[in-house]
Amino acid sequence: MPMSRVPRPRRFLVCEPRHFAVQYAINPWMREDTQVDVDLARGQWSELISAYRAHGHTVDSVEPVAGLPDMVFAANSALVVAGRVFGSLFHAPQRRPESSAYETWFKSAGFDVHRPESVCEGEGDLVFAGRHLLAGTGFRTARSAHHEVQEYFGVPTVSLTLVDPRFYHLDTALFVLDDGPEANIAYYPEAFSAGSREVLRLLFPDAVVATREDAMVFGLNSVSDGRHVFIAPRAEALAGELDRHGYVPVPVDLSEFQKAGGGIKCCTQEIRS
């Protein structure tokens, strides 16, 4: 019998997809001529927010800015821990103005904000997992940012190299299932270099391993509260595996956002107390 999982209430920051569009191509999922169904995108996003609130989570929202179509992907804006914000410096020039918009929100909400010196894309590449901060590099966040964030938070930081451009952010290839010292993860091994796969195997011997099929439908761009896992509906095998491990999959369809290379986690910044 799988163990009983206990959820922890979370506080999330999101941004309404009022200006969401695919206006440029900065990852393999994006095509400049792609048409976005704006009404469908708004409806899917609203379903995600409703699902979070229905499961007891708090949701704050930052005002979207015209001309910033990817601002809906709030996870890339920062890493937030105990009232301190390690902000973002985007790789793509098209996204760099987002940093200021989010910094304004954080400061108005009473947070201290650190502007990184190196390219860093927030929770897209920075993931707390128990005693460690997992940090992705290879396509977006610079390896030098890993040292910078370790110095800022004083948390052991483990660098992981991504090798498949379709999984350009860490949060497209891995997500954390549980909090606490015995944190566990789900991940897709082939997204990582051989050395990084070995590191993950050693740190998380009981990890849930996803298939390529589930990774390709953004099944690993999920959010877990320790019991409920908000997950792409087409990641059926992964959902079944999570169920066998005692988690409760909560399917939420954000397929319209996959046109820009995003999903559930991309749209969700966690504010950790």
Residues 1-17: pLDDT tens digits? 456 799 999 999 999 99
In 3-state terms, what secondary structure has residue 189? Answer: helix
The whole-angstrom separation of Cα 105 and Cα 8 is 25
For 128, the domain range is: 11-270
Name the domain count of the chain.
Answer: 1
Residue 266 belongs to a domain: yes
The predicted structure's pLDDT at residue 181: 81
Residue 183 belongs to a domain: yes
Residue 261 belongs to a domain: yes
Residue 4 belongs to a domain: no
| 261 has a pLDDT exceeding 80 | yes
**Looking at the annotation, which residues are catalytic?**
169, 266
Residue 85 belongs to a domain: yes
Domain of 181, CATH number, reads 3.75.10.10
Locate 170 and state its tokens. Answer: 């860490």
7 residue type, one letter? P
Span 232-256, pLDDT tens digits: 999 999 999 999 999 999 999 999 9
Residue 3 belongs to a domain: no
Span 156-193, pLDDT tens digits: 999 999 999 999 999 999 999 998 888 999 999 999 99
The predicted structure's pLDDT at residue 3: 67
